[in-house]
Each structure stands twice: as C-alpha cells, then as structure tokens.
Structure 1
Amino acid sequence: MPPRRPAAQCVRYMAAFWFIILLVSFFSGFAAATTGETTSTSNPKPTYITSLPGLDGALPSLLETGYVRPSMPMTMDDCRYVTVDEENGAELFYYFVESEGDPGRDPVLLWLTGGHRCSVLSGLVFEIGPVELVRQPYDGISLPRLRWNPNSWTKVASILFVDSPVGAGFSFSRDPNGYDVGDVSASLQLIEFLYKWFSAHEDYLANPFYLGGGSYAAKLVPFITQKISEGIEAGVRPIINLKGYTVGNPLTGDTIDFDSRVPYCHGVGVISDQLYKLFDEISAPHILHNKCIAVSPGPSDVSRRKILNEEVDLLQNPPPRPPIECIEYPHYLLYFWVNNNATRETLGIKKGTVNEWVRCHQGDLPYDEDIVNGIEYHRKVASLNYRTLVYSGDHDAVLPFLSTQAWVRSLSDHIVDDWRAWHLDGQSAGFTMTYGNNVTFATVKGGGHTAPEYQPERCFAMFSRWISNRPL
C-alpha cells in the first residue's frame, strides 16, 4: 500500500484539480466562441426521445440521453492522480428528463442511485422518474409494458439521472483501468461531468440546482456538493446555481448507520429481548413486506468481461424470477425491457460497449470506498447554509431512521421547527424537524429503504413542497 500523503499535499492536489477545471472551462469557452459551437465536440451528440418502447402514447416531457467523457486527470487515491485516457477511457451515460412544469425555471436535480454499481434506471423507473413498469406476468417473449408515474418528481423539477460510477448501467470504459475507481474519483468524475453537461446546456444554468441520491450514493452527495461549492468560490465556469441537496435513507460510512438496528427491530416487535439475529425472518428494506429473493445478481466470471467489444447473442445473466406479488418483480421485468433491441436503439446505446445491461454489479469490478465518513461533509455543507433535506422511510431496517435522525441532530442544536407530524390528505404522512442551518429531516410513513418505491405519493408530496421552499 502506498504511503499516505500529508494533509498539506492533499490540499495542493485539490488546488491542482480546480486549476485544471479552470483551464478546461476557459479553453472550452474559447473554442465555443471561435467555432460558434455550444456543445463539447469530444462527446457524442445526445439522443432526444419522445416515447419509449412498451409505453402507450408520448412521454409527458422530453427525455434526452447521451454520454459524457471524463477526459481529465480525475482519479485520486490518497491524493495521487491517475490519467483517464480521453480516447479510450470512460464515458458516463445519462438520462435527462425535462420538467413537466416550467423547464425554463424549475430546479434541475442530479440523481444518483445507491447499491453495488447499480444503474440509475432503478431511480428513474422504480422511484422518482416519469414511467414505471406494469406489474404483469412475463411470458419471455413480449416486451414488458410501461405506464406513466403519477408521482414523478419531474412534475416539479428537471432530473439528470447519471449511471455512476463507471461500469454502472450503460457507463463504460474502453480501457479496463477505467473501471478502477472509488468514492472520491467517481465523485470528481461526476463534477467534471456536470461542468461539461452544463456547458452544453447553458439554458439551464440559471435554474436552481440540487443534488440527490439514496442509500450508498448519499455518501457521495454531500462531498460533491462541497466540491462544487469550492468551485464556485474559485470562479470555475460555467457557474452552477447550487442551492442544496437531498438524500434518502442515507449511508454515511460511520458506525452510527447501524447502531440502531437492534433497538429499532426490538421496538417494532421484530425481535425479542433475547433474540439479536436480525434479518433471518424479515425483509430488511421494508419490515412489513414479504421476504423475497434478490433480483440484482452481478455478471458471472465468464461473462463479465463481455462488457466491451464482444457480441453476445443470448443474455447471460437473467435474474431469478420472484413471485409477482413481491416488490422486486418489476426489477425482474426491467432486465428484459432494457436488454430488448428496440429499447437499446431508442436510448441511443453505443454498440460494442455494454452488450448486456444488469441492474447492479455485485463486486465483480474494483471499487474503493475511500470516503470513510460522510457526516463531516454534511456538517461542512450545513455550515455554508445550503438547503438540505434528509429523509428516511420509517420501515427500513437496513439503515433505520433512528440512526439517521441521530447524526442529523448532531449538525445543529438550533431548532426552528420542532418535531411534528407532516400531512397528506389530512392524515399524518410522517414526522419532520427543521434546524437553523437549513437542514430538514423527515420520516416517510410506511416507507422502506428506497422510500419513493414504497410510498411514491407521500415522497412526491414531501419533495415537491421542499423543492418549492414550502414547509412540509
């Protein structure tokens, strides 16, 4: 293992990172001014989509997909930079869903999905996007059907869904070394992604910008927010109109994440005073749901290197089929919908890159969990007075709300709106508390580990009020 760099040297490397960002933004602007182009010539043109295979009718708003190529020295491991090759390196795939309201003024939200290199389609299709899968028995032949999601967060915001890190979803690297990333390097690639994306979408620069993510991705969100804030202070262009972030059922990396598992499960009657073996008899993501099989296995050793350049005639890694009543059943359907040729062509997927889409990669690609504790970044962002919404499904036993509530409370001792119920249709939808540093904590009644998947109506009400600067 290489020796750790001293703190002062880390600071110098971060200063170098922002200096390179400044140079790139300057020369990108110079090139655009001399050629009349507003988009980066190093990235492929986006695909504009008005309807999707399996969906009756048009989408409620424009869907744009595309790739952005991180081309700078981006990966940092103990403050050592490794070049990501521009010609043969990584490309991050994104889905941009325009707001159904007023896209010229509504906020723009970057959304990241948690899990083990899970595709952001999980967030788009199962949680907060404009479409969802119809729960019908799959016959192995026809294309699974889609329908509109009446509780899509795109009703009040434009959402930029990004497959990150490299290797998740349709993001890929032509050089195998491009898959060797971690928390910090993936975050820095996302920062460069944002600067490139906004340079090509200048109409959205004035819109309020927020970041969001759930579960493991929530560990990266405050780090990225802090770094973007530092870029704003450094004068990096384009200037992003950063307003804050939201995280759901968030992992921090601190031991506090799991400290309340036993007290929580005991408190809701899942385990007795004598029994401390938690997860044998329950569905940890939602304690009231049936315990079902996982639907996100990673590629096998035989097929995982077929991510690039080899044509695969038959799908190699179909997930196990859960009972149709399980919440995981749409996860099973998504695999067949995405890997359909008509779907891939519509989405604009490059041939010879990711020949078989899987929802999550379970440890088959390298990843360094080098953000040890995300709470320090939450605290730093809170001190800058950016708006923050932390929410938890109150039936999640993976990351119980009691643990999240504890570390949120540690961010400030100044309460401006004390613990109270928040309501939907005259009924309690959860509980909330707001602190003087613009931090709001909320529980979602009946929500599981991915709260919008279990309680879409309540989560939409919560998000739409918060993003509109209204009290819950």
Structure 2
Amino acid sequence: MLPLALLLVFLNGRIIVASKSTIDTLPGFSGDLPFKLETGYVGVGDLDDVQLFYYFIESERSPKEDPLLLWLSGGPGCSGFSGLVYEIGPIMFNYANSSGNKPTFLLNPYSWTKVANIIFLDQPVGTGFSYAKSWQGYETGDISSAAHTYEFLRKEVSNGNEVGHEPPLNLKGYVLGNPFTGPTYDLNSRIKFAHRMALISDTLYESTKINCKGEYVQVDPSNAPCVENLQEVTECTQNIFYDQILEPKCSTTSPNPKIFKWDQNFDGENFLDVLHHPTKPQCRIYNSLFSNIWANDKTVQNALHVQEGTIKDWERCNQSLSSSYTDDVSSSVDYHRNLTKKNLRALVYSGDHDMLVPYVGTQEWIRSLNLNVDYNWRPWLVNGQVAGYTEAYTKKAYTLTFATVKGGGHTAPEYKPLECLAMMDRWFAYYYL
C-alpha cells in the first residue's frame, strides 16, 4: 500500500491519554516553541499491548473553534512526524543551515495548524515511536491497524456513536491525499497518465491498450504483444521519478527492465537508506536524512518523552514492517462507497504530477461511486493564478470534492504548500475551492 495522507475531521473532540507531555522546546529549534506541542502514548489492543505514539499541535488561530484532524501518513509504516516536518506541520528542516549531525528547524508559514488542531499518529504498530509490549503485538495488517486507530480516536466514530460508544465525537468528514485504493484503478491508470504526460507515444499507448485489453497489472504472460508493449513502456518510464515526474530520479539501484514498473513495489522506487549513500542537493528523497539523524538522537527522544528502550532505530518509513504486515484489504473502494451513505463531507486531492497514484485513476474510482454531479471540472485559483482543477459530487447528505494540485507530487503539500493551505482553509470554511 502506498504512502497517503488520510485525515479525519472532528469538532469538539477529546481523547483519553495514558501518558502525555507538553513540549516547550525542541533540539534544533532556537528558543521556545511558538505553538503548543504535546506528545504521548495511547494503549490499544488486548491489554493495551500496542502503544501508539502521537504528536498533537494546537491550532494557532482558535483552538476551541477550529477542527481537530487526525493525520495518518500511510505507507504503511511512515511516521506521523513525516507529515509534520515535510508536509503540513508548523516546523520544517532548515536545509541551508543544517550540517552533520545537527539538523535545525525553521517555521513553516503554510502550516495547516494555522487553521486546525492536528494529531500526527505513528501507526500501525512499529511505525515511528509506536511499539508493542509483546512480539505478538507487532503482527498487524490493514484490518487490525484500522481497529487500533479506531480505538485510538474512534476512527469510525459515526458507527461508534450509533451504538453508544464514548466519548461521542462530532465527525464532520475526511480528506484523502493522493490515496491508494487498489491496483484496479491506481496501478492500471499509470499507463493512461504516462500517455497524457507525453511519456509514451500515441502509437504505443493505443497498441498497449488494445493488446492488453486495458489490464496492465495482471498480465497473461502468453500474451506476447501485450508483454512486448509493456516492455516498451518500461523503457520509456523506468528513469522517471514516480513521486513527481518533473524531478530527478535519484535511486542508486539499477532498474530491471524485465519487471513492469507499475506492478512492482508500489512506491516505484527501492527506497534508499540515505544515511549510507552520497547526497545530492536536488534530490528531494535525501531530505529524509535529516529526520533519521534528528529522531535517533537520544537528546531528541528525551525531549519528546519517548519511552526508553522501546525502539532500536527510528525510521521515517519503516520498511521492515513488510515482513509482519498483512495486506488484507485488496481494495478500499467499497469502504468509500459505504461512506457515501453517511452525512459526511469528503475532500480528495491529487498532485497532478504524481505517477505513483495518478489523478486519472482517482477520478475513475470516484466516478464508480455513482454520485450526482454538483459542479463540473473547473479551475480553482490562489492569488489570481490557477492552483489546480476541481469537480464536486453529492448523494443526499454526502458531498465529495475532488481537486488536483497543479505541479504537485505524491505528497502535494510538500510541493505546493501555499496552495494546499488555501485549499484546506476554504474546505474547512465550507467554501467552494
């Protein structure tokens, strides 16, 4: 499953926390923090065996009136800290003035905490600073991870309220950023996206579509014309950086031309241990070096009140989870379809230069929900300039807004912070984009 940004939006919510600490200063940030930061653990599962670590940051505008968001970085295995420092949090690494083992921070002028309270959660267990008290606790998957997240903050609060779960929370909606739903839509759409972005020719696209009959993932190996076409597509796209096709691909591994790029590990990249490879300033993927250095510092862990001895090495995205994690939900589209029966608002946004989860596949599964059209495709603006395009749908009390972020990559707020903050501010305020 791909990294994605999933947020649940609540108003007037409260959580019961087993252990929490207010953080006034952080290593690498000069002076006191100009925002309220709280960290802690919440026990979930049998006998609270799983301890989920979180960062809570209060809204800088009106904490009591602004919504409360739960941010899940996805992966699975990517820490909430990744979303905090690389996408939507109030601090980010100061790359120009960081060196050696001393990363420093500066304030993010486009933090979403300017309009919302946010909880950044390390989930599933084994992600970031979250841990289990027993080895059995590390055996998890899509379903059990969702259950743990539900227990953490009543993720499926609308269902919980119906059966009297406490505390009741006023669930308003959810947001999905470049979300992976399943191979049928997301991986197959990479061929169409590559054609739209002039990465493959008209002739090759039409031939591939005909010979493969629109199926580019579960390919019949005896279908020689299809296999040949897909090899040609691979040759055209194997040196493209899937996260943002305009940026350089910085992997030091040699791609295998016999493997179809859209059918291997979903991130399209053998993620580098950047601590052991030379860095290049223009390579965004190497920015994770700073979070690995910073979060593994014992002084930092003490400042965050991390339980000593619970993790060996902190990783921004824990790749070792693949050995203990079960992908037991092949597609989430039916879950989205069930949500259309509720009184909820949804925002789905896509960086339009993301080839990991192309916007065209996201459009396809949204349209499969058979919603009514509220308004058709049109531009949305920031400072008088086109920031992307949007369309909206309704079904009784349910509404869904889809938006592209022009020039955005897989983590759209990382690439277009001003535009994404404007998008969220308008959506929270019930304005059209």
With normalisation by structure 1, the TM-score equals 0.74
Task: Compare relative contact order (CA 8 Å, sep 6+) and give the higher one, 1 or 2.
Answer: 2
Corresponding letter in the other structure for 2:35: S
Q: How far did 1:294 drift?
A: 8.2
Amino acid at match of 1:96: F
Letter paired with 1:417: Y
Cα distance between partner residues in 1 of 2:252 and 2:53? 25
Q: Do structure 1's residue 420 and structure 2's residue 378 form an aligned pair?
A: yes
**1:388·1:440 contact (CA, 8 Å) conserved in 2?**
yes
**Residue in structure 2 matched with residue 382 of structure 1 by the alignment:** 340
User: Are 2:145 and 1:186 equivalent residues in the alignment?
Assistant: yes
Which of residues 267, 270, 273 in structure 1 aligns to 2:196? 267
Does the alignment pair 1:102 with 2:31?
Answer: no
Could you list the per-position Cα deviations for residues 316-362 of structure 1 after superposition, in whole angstroms to 9, with x for gaps in the alignment?
99353430121123211111111122211111111111132111222
Is 1:343 matched with 2:303?
A: no
Superimposed CA distance per residue, residues 275-302 of structure 1 (whole angstroms, 9 cap, x where no aligned partner) = 311541111000000111389xxxxxxx
- Aligned partner (choices 443, 450, 454) of residue 404 of structure 2: 443
Q: What residue in structure 1 maps to residue 285 of structure 2?
A: 328
Separation in 2 of the partners of 1:319 and 1:187? Answer: 34
> Is 1:68 aligned to 2:26, yes or no?
no
Whether the 8 Å CA contact 1:382–1:388 is kept in 2: the answer is no
| TM-fit CA distance, 1:139 | 4.1
Q: Please name the residue that 2:256 is paired with.
A: none
| Amino acid corresponding to residue 331 of structure 1 in structure 2 | S
Q: Which residue of 2 aligns with 1:255?
A: 184
Root-mean-square deviation (CA, aligned residues, Å) is: 2.0
Kindly provide the CA deviation profile for residues 37-85 of structure 1, in whole angstroms up to 9, marking residues without a partner as x: x956xx22x11012321112333320000001114xxxxxxxxxxxx34
SS in 1 for 2:280: coil
Q: Secondary structure at the match of 1:257?
A: coil
Tell me whether 1:402 sits opposite 2:331 in the alignment. no
Q: Does the CA-based 8 Å contact 2:274-2:286 persist in structure 1?
A: no
Any idea what SS the aligned residue of 1:94 has?
strand
Deviations 1:189-248 (A, max 9, x none): 1111115xxxxxxxxxxxxxxxxxxxxxxxxxxxx4xx3211111111110110110001
Offset from partner CA, 1:423-443 (integer Å, 9 cap, x none): 001010000011123100000
Where does residue 418 of structure 2 map in the other structure?
457
1:329 maps to a residue whose letter is Y
Q: Per the alignment, in what secondary structure is the counterpart of residue 331 of structure 2? A: coil
* Partner in structure 2 of residue 289 of structure 1: 247
Judge conservation of contact 1:253–1:373 (CA < 8 Å) in 2: yes
Instruction: State the distance in 1 between where 2:61 and 2:251 align.
Output: 38
Q: What does residue 56 of structure 1 align with?
A: 30
What letter matches 2:172 in structure 1?
A: K
* CA 47–317 in structure 1, closer or farther in 2 if over 3 Å, else same: farther
Instruction: Quote the Cα distance in structure 1 between the aligned partners of 2:47 and 2:188.
Output: 42
Contact kept, 8 Å, 1:285 with 1:449, in 2: the verdict is yes
Paired residue secondary structure (1:331): helix
Asked if the contact 2:87–2:414 (Cα under 8 Å) also holds between the matched residues in 1, the reply is: yes
User: In structure 1, how many angstroms separate the alpha carbons of the residues matched to 2:98 and 2:197?
Assistant: 36
Name structure 2 gaps, 5 residues minimum.
1-14, 205-231, 254-272
Of stretches 411-420 and 373-382 in structure 1, the one that deviates more from structure 2 is 411-420
Q: In the aligned structure 2, how far is the partner of 1:356 from the partner of 1:321?
A: 21
CA distance in 2, matches of 1:294, 1:399: 23
Partner of residue 153 from structure 1, selected from 107, 112, 118: 112
Whether the aligned pair in 2 keeps the contact of 1:99 and 1:154 (CA below 8 Å) is yes
2:133 corresponds to: 174
Find the aligned partners of 1:377 and 1:194 in 2 and give their Cα distance.
19
DSSP-derived class of the 1:126 partner: helix
| 1:354-390 CA distance string (max 9 Å, x none) | 1321112224540111122211111111221300000
1:112–1:163 Cα contact (<8 Å) kept: yes
Q: Aligned in 2, Cα 1:249/1:187: closer, same or farther, shift over 3 Å?
A: same
Aligned partners of 1:135 and 1:329 also within 8 Å: no
Specify which of 170, 195, 200 is matched with residue 241 of structure 1. 170
CA distance in structure 2 between the partners assigned to 1:264 and 1:169 by the alignment: 33
Whether the 8 Å contact between 1:282 and 1:291 is mirrored in structure 2 is yes
The answer to whether the 8 Å contact 2:274/2:288 transfers is no
- Structure 1 counterpart SS, 2:347: strand
Distance 1:186 1:399 in 2: 22
Aligned to 1:214: none
Tell me which residue corresponds to 1:202. none
CA gap 1:191/1:264 in 2 versus in 1, 3 angstroms? same
**Which whole-Å CA distance do the structure 2 matches of 1:230 and 1:317 have between them?**
43
Correspondence for 2:312 among 355, 358, 363:
355
Q: 1:128 aligns with which of 80, 88, 91?
A: 88
Give, as a single letter, the amino acid of the residue that structure 2 aligns with 1:176: W
Q: Which amino acid aligns with 2:157?
A: I
Kindly indicate whether the alpha-carbon contact (under 8 Å) linking 1:321 and 1:332 is maintained by their aligned counterparts in 2.
no
State the distance in 2 between where 1:377 and 1:459 align.
Answer: 25
User: What is the DSSP-based 3-state SS (H/G/I as helix, E as strand, rest coil) of the residue aligned with 1:431?
Assistant: strand
Amino acid at match of 2:347: L
Q: Is contact 2:199–2:237 with CA below 8 Å preserved after alignment? A: no
Residues 249-258 or 275-284, more deviating: 275-284
**Does the aligned pair in 2 maintain the 1:92–1:163 contact within 8 Å?**
yes
- 1: CA distance, partners of 2:372 / 2:84: 35
Please, what TM-score do these two structures have when normalized by structure 2?
0.81
